[in-house]
Amino acid sequence: MADAEPIFTAVSSNAHHLYTSLQCIGFAPKATVQITSDGIRFSAEESRVVQGLVFLDKALFTSYTFNPPNTRNEEDQENNSYNPCFVVSLSALLETLKIFGVNDSSAPNAPNRATSVQPSNPATSSAFTTPALLLDRSCTLQYFQDGSPLSITLTETGVKTTCELTTYEADGGEMDIPLQRDAIIMKIIMRSAWLHNAVTELGATSPTALKISASAQEEPFLALSGSGGPFSESTVEFSVEQGSSTNAAPQPYHKVLADDGTSRARAKRAKLAPTVTETFLVSPPSSMGSRITQSYRFALIQKATRAMAAANKVSIRGDRQGVLSLQFMIDFDNGATGNVRPGGGSICSAVTFVDFRFVPLLDEEDGEGVGNLLE
Amino acid sequence: MRFRSQLTNIATFTKLTASLSSLGKVCWMRLEDGVVRFTIIPDQGTQVWAQLPVDAIFEENTYFLEANSGVVNLEVPVGALHRALRSAAGATTAQIRLTKKGNIPLLALTVLASSWTAGSNALGVTDADRPGQGPPERSGPRERETLIVQEIPVKVLHESAIDGLHEPRCRDPDVHIILPSLIQLKSISERFTKLATDATATSGSVTGLGASSPRLELSANMHGSLRLAIATDSLRISSVWTDLVNPPLDPGQLSQTEIEQLPSERMRALSDNDEAAWAKVRIDGKDWGRVLSVGRLSPKVVACFVHETALILYVYLPGSWNGEDSCLTYYINSYAA
Amino acid sequence: MATLSFSLAPPALLQLHDALICLAKFHDTVAIEAEFDLLRLSVLNSSKTAYSAFVFDADSFFETYAFGISGGRNARPDKFACQLYLKALLSVFKGRASGRDKDTAVERCEVELHDETDETECRLVIRMVCGLGVIKSYKLTYEQTTVNHAVFDRNKTLNQWSIDPKFIREITDHFSPSAEQLDVYSDGGKAIFTSFTTKITDGKEVLRQPVHTSVAIDKRDFELFIVEDNLHVAIALKDFKAIIAHAETAGAMITARYTRPCRPLQLSYGFKGVKSEFTLMTRGESSGDDTSTSSHAVPELSARQTPAPVQFTQSNAPSKTDHMPPPRSRSIRPLTGTSTRATETNPDSQRPSASINFDSLFVPADDDRQWDVPNEEEEEEAEDVLGWDATADQDTFNASLGPRLQDNEPRMPTQDATSRDEEMGIPPTQRISQLHGLGLFD
């Protein structure tokens, strides 16, 4: 068996990237793994109402070999009909990846904390950014043949750790929550930190429901509110950044504003979109009026908190049915700055996308009934 | 019965008590002429027998001991002793003495600490609330002294009460090896323990032992390898260290023929590919983590494996006081498979 | 109906957060009182042995501050009081933002009270205006309430010391975390702080007893030290640590004032438009004339109450001096038990002294009644009688009933009339206890 070539071998010099990506969907104990010639797909879900998906592109690995047993012939490689698919313990996989680098004295407690809802920014807290530490280290993922365990080998100076994760048959019931790509009515792109901050903020008051409200015509352009908490309702509004005090007045005096902060006043008229958004497209169907409002179970949204914390950017999309997609981009190269625009010709080799989808709460007239629905 | 002494190497004493307190609440402290012993015998788990020359922690010329038998045996709440010793960090002087308050015998730790005040107007605030007329006299930096007295209740044990306590005895080990970096070993061990705990928690297949923590399988051979492993339903994981040292035994204590007949020499003769070359023990994951907390003393640790029976750790503190080695011996029983 | 609105700059926001953190160490609800020139946050702990208050000056602490009130159901026309859960407030007023959110840090905080007569729920609306156009807003439910202030006459205190809280924190760092009490006394040139625990342990558990720690520092470390030598007073260490921790954050010199054991001790300090006061009951060996207090029982603090819809039971006969309060080894009592206890104990003990029957946080301070002055004239004064006076001597107490006490509580006009007329005139809009999801904060 050992002399036979494994179906799949991928080597990474940086297990931390794998860990950072995979912990984003660490809300579920198990994950479905699918190996393709382009990369590995990990998906986790809960009760068919929330789904998280991580795609580790083969570019993330220093070497990536996929030899499907049936597709040795060249003509078959086009089909990619054979993609091994199985279920492993995600918590065990994450815990194993954490062993990589335990000897880094810089963060002896970090692995324990990382299991909390708010992991620190990987790019800033990690000792992995020091190139010298990466020498003599590797992390190898291997899958020998159908039914084999998924094996992870971590090699560091003086010690080699091998973990064989039992693979379970995928039950076939894995179904993606359908996002109607041809019926997207909202697409908002902004720094993930703003979303993370807002959700953390709302989470402090323990709401049961999160309401997203967006309009391209009137303020607030984008508002997230939490309701159902024991004694507090909270809202985070993303509006247009204004000059110092005018915002506070119930009726802003536009003339005054124009006098002391001309450019900002113009900006407000020009752009009917929150300051923090890069892209703000809201086009509700006529039945909704000018504003899109949709509610989700807050506890479900919170499952994406780790992804929000780890990612640089998020694309928030909603379709006509109310299905919400949060697509996160984790840029390991620019993680620390977060200001670098991607795609600008830089070598974006270390980028991972994490996709979350949520089923909406049934809405009864503007969220009034949300609390009841949750009971 | 009297005992008092100035402390020296307070940091070592503090770390020692911290390591001991992770294994047991109560420690038996035996003060003799020239030697201090600390023993932890918990109901369950690892026993520690530590022996230090007096000057490892006490200033020898102030070490004063007076007892009929020449020995003072105390039962000490070692966690409290550790906390008290933390007050002595950065002390000018620290003295410990056996005393009494009412009927309760105490170890009184008296610490004199000094620091410098920051000088005039340290706070940089004006306090309108302050009573009295005008600002109080502010002076330049001055030395300020703090006297701290920590009273740790102890029990004085009669010699007869400790007659029954004996250091465990074991047959000659099959493998002896110097452990790798304890912090790395500890981190990996803890992660393994967590993996196994999570696995039992999620699969719900709790074994009859209930709250007991997972058993780690620790093995080593005479070819410089150490292996830590654990297996659950959902995974099998092992870490292997190589190129470790199997320390030579002291030829002064054993004759050449005696050495040749040791089980460890028979193990050395076996090939490192042979599973029989590995001596194996099964230990409690959480207890093992507590044992490894001795790493804070950055010692050299020789692990002696008695196959399927016990693991004995000889923990040598760094530095040597007066040429005499300070050694802590940890006795860890192996669980049956 | 009251109107209240104020706004805070980021530094004040941080100070408010620090104050809330400190208050949360005493109890789970905070009373907020708005007056024309100040806002007061106060907490009385459940055993009524510690009263903590932060007073924020309207002009110097806030960026803007506006308070208005109009008659109707308000007992006091110059004041509005309500109570909130500290956890709710703390979920809104957080500490310093982490580095990642720098761009959207809070720039200004606006608070507005919605005291709607016709609404079932009253709301405190808080808006955090942040950078990049991010606005966070909260609506917190509050409950109208009456507020009690511990009475403490600073002019009567015999002992006083002031010190940089850092020095005190260095002292408390040496104490065992399980120690419960702190004893303070002076001896010669030294001030000695000793931690101890009154827990009784049998012989077997000797080794589990907490370590007694005493720390002596030079009197010269104090800014001011006027204390009777060898006078021991003891307070709860937990309370003391909470106060010291805040004083150190605030960077303010802390002052302690007290007379003797079993009388309250007040710790106070002020900084940047904020005044903090903590009145703690002390224990210790009381002096000879203090027959009624045992060293094991922690007497409760006495209350001064803000006008409230209460009924006073007037029965101010001279007190029995030989009455011993039931000793309590633990001072923790559930808050919910207090009102029943008040009604039960009063008839049972048939204690002929002033007592108040009302449904509020406060229980009459039974341990202290022996010093109360019989007073059948005015309820307004009867209220003062309940107040604890630092001297505890009848004659000086009589003297103190004058203007000095009035300083604490400037005026209480028409108070009894209002409360009589309307009886339970201020029904809380909604009891916090009725809100669902309360279990979260248990």
pLDDT in tens, C69-95: 876 555 567 889 999 999 999 999 886
Q: What is the CATH number for B279? A: 3.70.10.10
Query: For residue B61, what are the domain limits?
Result: 2-117+141-162
Residue C428 within a domain: no
Question: A169, A197, A224: which is the final residue of a domain?
Answer: A169
Which residues, listed in sequence order, are joined to residue C96 by a DSSP beta bridge?
none
Q: CA C41 to CA A94: how far, in whole Å?
A: 46
Within 13 Å and on the Cβ side, how many CA atoms surround B164?
A: 3
Q: What is the SS3 assignment for C290-337?
A: CCCCCCCCCCCCCEEECCCCCEEECCCCCCCCCCCCCCCCCCCCCHHH
Residue B237 within a domain: yes
Torsion of CA B199, B200, B205, B207, to 10 degrees: 140
Question: C281, C299, C322: which is the final residue of a domain?
Answer: C281
Q: CA A267 to CA C20: how far, in whole Å?
A: 39
Window 62-91 of C, Cβ < 8 Å to A: 85, 88, 91
Tokens of C7: 């706004």
Asked if the Cβ–Cβ distance from A161 to B188 is below 8 Å, we say yes
Does residue A157 share a domain with residue A222? no
Question: C281, C305, C335: which is the final residue of a domain?
Answer: C281
Nearest chain B residue to C251 by CA distance is B123
Determine contact, residues A148/A167, Cβ cutoff 8 Å.
yes
Among the partner residues A89, A92, A103, nearest to B184 by beta-carbon distance: A103
Q: CA C86 to CA C92: how far, in whole Å?
A: 10
Nearest chain B residue to C215 by CA distance is B148
Does residue B179 share a domain with residue B109? no
Does residue C180 share a domain with residue C128? no
Q: Mean pLDDT, chain B, as a whole number?
A: 87
Tell me the CA distances in angstroms from A3 to A6, A66, C302, one per residue in order.
9, 16, 85
Higher-confidence residue of A131 and C57: namely: C57
Does residue B86 share a domain with residue B215? no
Which residues, listed in sequence order, are joined to residue B226 by a DSSP beta bridge?
B220, B241
Among the partner residues C85, C137, C140, nearest to A235 by beta-carbon distance: C137
Rounded to a whole number of angstroms, the distance from the CA of C110 to the nearest CA of chain A is 8
Q: Which residue's structure tokens are 């009145």? A: C279
Does residue B253 share a domain with residue B148? no
Among the partner residues A234, A238, A244, nearest to C134 by beta-carbon distance: A238
pLDDT in tens, B65-84: 999 889 999 999 999 999 99
Q: CA A64 to CA B218: how far, in whole Å?
A: 34
The pTM assigned to this predicted structure is 0.78
Phi, psi angle pair for B18, to nearest 5°: -65, -45
Among the partner residues A95, A103, A164, nearest to B181 by beta-carbon distance: A103
Does residue C131 share a domain with residue C45? yes
Q: Which chain C residues have a beta carbon less than 8 Å from that of A193?
A: 100-101
SS3 C144: strand
Contacts of B189 (CB under 8 A, 6+ apart): B216, B228, B285, B288, B289, B292
CB atoms near residue B330 (< 10 Å): 22
Contacts of C395 (CB under 8 A, 6+ apart): none
Q: Which of B151, B154, B155, B156 to mutate to test the interface with C (most CBs of C within 10 A)?
A: B151
Residue B319 within a domain: yes
Q: Which of C8, C100, C433 to mutate to test the interface with A (most CBs of A within 10 A)?
A: C100
Asked if the Cβ–Cβ distance from B233 to A95 is below 8 Å, we say no
Among the partner residues A234, A240, A275, nearest to C137 by beta-carbon distance: A234
Does residue C184 share a domain with residue C94? no
Higher-confidence residue of B254 and A244: namely: B254
Does residue A232 share a domain with residue A123? no
Within 13 Å and on the Cβ side, how many CA atoms surround B253?
A: 3
Q: Which of B189, B235, B242, B243 to mutate to test the interface with A (most CBs of A within 10 A)?
A: B235
pLDDT in tens, B237-260: 999 999 999 998 777 777 788 888
Least Cα distance to C243 among C303, C165, C164 occurs for C165
Asked if the Cβ–Cβ distance from B147 to C215 is below 8 Å, we say yes
Residue C17, Ramachandran bin (φ over 0: left; ψ between -120 and 50: alpha; else beta): alpha
Q: Which residue's structure tokens are 């004063």? A: B64
C36 vs A: CB within 8 A: no
Peptide bond before residue B77 is cis, with ω within 30 degrees of 0:
no
Q: What is the mean pLDDT of residues A324-351?
A: 63
Q: Which chain C residues have a beta carbon less than 8 Å from that of A232?
A: 88, 91-92, 138-141
Q: Which residue's structure tokens are 């993680």? A: A335
Cβ-based contacts under 8 A for chains A and B: 75
Question: C122, C148, C174: which is the final residue of a domain?
Answer: C148
SS3 A265: helix
Does residue C245 share a domain with residue C123? no
Q: What is the CATH number for A94? A: 3.70.10.10
Does residue B216 share a domain with residue B181? yes
Q: CA B299 to CA B52: how far, in whole Å?
A: 14
Q: Which ranges in C116-260 belong to alpha helices (H)?
A: 165-172, 237-250
Query: Sign (positive/negative) of CA torsion C375, C380, C383, C385?
Result: negative
SS3 A42: strand
Predicted pLDDT of residue A282? 94
Residue B269 within a domain: yes
Predicted pLDDT of residue A99? 87
Asked if the Cβ–Cβ distance from C174 to B122 is below 8 Å, we say no
Predicted pLDDT of residue C305? 57
B188 vs A: CB within 8 A: yes
* For residue A112, pLDDT beyond 50: no
Query: For residue A214, what are the domain limits?
Result: 181-239+274-374
Q: CA B270 to CA B262: how far, in whole Å?
A: 14
Lowest-confidence segment of A59-68, A314-323, B140-149, B323-332 by average pLDDT: B323-332
Does residue C131 share a domain with residue C102? yes
Q: What is the CATH number for C240? A: 3.70.10.10
Residue C338 within a domain: no
A110-136: b (≥16 Cβ within 10 Å) or e: bbeebeeeebbbbbeebebbeeebeee
Asked if the Cβ–Cβ distance from A163 to B236 is below 8 Å, we say yes
Among the partner residues A29, A92, A102, nearest to B184 by beta-carbon distance: A102
Does residue A131 share a domain with residue A52? yes
Does residue B193 share a domain with residue B321? yes
Residue C175 within a domain: yes
Does residue C46 share a domain with residue C10? yes
SS3 C178: coil
Does residue A68 share a domain with residue A190? no
Q: Which chain B residues have a beta carbon less than 8 Å from that of A166?
A: 233-235
pLDDT in tens, B109-128: 999 999 887 754 444 444 44
Does residue C158 share a domain with residue C120? no
Most confident of A74-83, A108-117, B314-323, C43-52: C43-52
Question: A169, A189, A204: which is the final residue of a domain?
Answer: A169
Does residue C187 share a domain with residue C78? no
Burial of C230 (0-12, 13-18, 19+ CB in 10 A): exposed
Rounded to a whole number of angstroms, the distance from the CA of B219 to the nearest CA of chain A is 14
Q: CA A191 to CA A193: how far, in whole Å?
A: 5
Residue B128 within a domain: no
Contacts of C141 (CB under 8 A, 6+ apart): A231, A232, C84, C88, C121, C122, C123, C124, C430, C432, C435
Determine contact, residues A45/A52, Cβ cutoff 8 Å.
yes
A194 vs C: CB within 8 A: yes
Nearest chain A residue to C430 by CA distance is A231
**Chains contacting chain C through 3 or more C-beta pairs under 8 A:** A, B
Predicted pLDDT of residue C194? 96
Within 13 Å and on the Cβ side, how many CA atoms surround B318?
A: 10
Determine contact, residues A43/A91, Cβ cutoff 8 Å.
no
Contacts of A48 (CB under 8 A, 6+ apart): A175, A177, A359
Q: CA A276 to CA A238: how far, in whole Å?
A: 7
Predicted pLDDT of residue B260? 83
Nearest chain B residue to C211 by CA distance is B152
Does residue B153 share a domain with residue B45? yes
Q: What is chain B's alpha carbon radius of gyration, rounded to the nearest angstrom? A: 25
Q: How many residues does chain C have?
A: 442
Rounded to a whole number of angstroms, the distance from the CA of C192 to the nearest CA of chain B is 9
Does residue C195 share a domain with residue C111? no
Among the partner residues A244, A248, A276, nearest to C132 by beta-carbon distance: A276
Determine contact, residues B91/B146, Cβ cutoff 8 Å.
no
Does residue B184 share a domain with residue B236? yes
- Confidence band, pLDDT 50/70/90 cuts, at residue B133: very low
Domain count along chain A: 2
Within 13 Å and on the Cβ side, how many CA atoms surround A314?
A: 25
Which residues, listed in sequence order, are joined to residue A356 by a DSSP beta bridge?
A52, A326
Within 13 Å and on the Cβ side, how many CA atoms surround C393?
A: 11
Nearest chain C residue to B132 by CA distance is C224
Domain count along chain B: 2
Tokens of C213: 């720690």
Does residue C136 share a domain with residue C112? yes
Question: B101, B129, B162: which is the final residue of a domain?
Answer: B162
**Chains contacting chain B through 3 or more C-beta pairs under 8 A:** A, C
Q: Inter-axis angle of helices A15-23 and A90-99, to 10 degrees?
A: 150
Q: What is the DSSP letter of C130?
A: E
A167 vs B: CB within 8 A: no
Does residue A126 share a domain with residue A210? no
Q: Which chain C residues have a beta carbon less than 8 Å from that of A233?
A: 138-139
Rounded to a whole number of angstroms, the distance from the CA of A180 to the nearest CA of chain B is 35
Domain count along chain C: 2
Higher-confidence residue of B160 and A39: namely: A39
Q: Which of C138, C143, C436, C442 to mutate to test the interface with A (most CBs of A within 10 A)?
A: C138
Asked if the Cβ–Cβ distance from A241 to C92 is below 8 Å, we say no
Phi, psi angle pair for B38, to nearest 5°: -120, 130
Asked if the Cβ–Cβ distance from A92 to B195 is below 8 Å, we say yes
Q: What is the DSSP letter of C344?
A: H
Lowest-confidence segment of A259-263, B194-198, B208-212 by average pLDDT: A259-263
Window 90-149 of A, Cβ < 8 Å to B: 91-92, 95-96, 98-99, 102-103, 105, 108, 111, 149
Residue C206, Ramachandran bin (φ over 0: left; ψ between -120 and 50: alpha; else beta): alpha
The residue type of C413 is: P
Query: For residue C222, what are the domain limits?
Result: 154-281
Distance linking the first and last C-alpha atoms of chain A:
54
Predicted pLDDT of residue C71? 64
* For residue A144, pLDDT beyond 90: yes
Least Cα distance to A26 among A42, A48, A49 occurs for A42
Q: What is the DSSP letter of B136?
A: P
Interface predicted TM-score (ipTM) of this complex, two decimals: 0.86
Q: Where are the beta strands (DSSP E) in chain A?
A: 8-12, 30-35, 39-46, 50-57, 63-66, 85-89, 138-143, 150-156, 159-165, 168-169, 184-191, 209-215, 222-227, 232-238, 277-282, 291-297, 313-319, 324-331, 351-358
Residue ranges of chain C whose pLDDT lies below 50: 288-296, 306-442
Question: A169, A203, A230: which is the final residue of a domain?
Answer: A169
Predicted pLDDT of residue C264? 93
* For residue A113, pLDDT beyond 70: no
Predicted pLDDT of residue C327? 36
CB atoms near residue A175 (< 10 Å): 9
Lowest-confidence segment of A101-110, A277-286, B36-45, B170-179 by average pLDDT: A101-110
Q: Which chain B residues have a beta carbon less than 8 Å from that of C271?
A: 125, 127
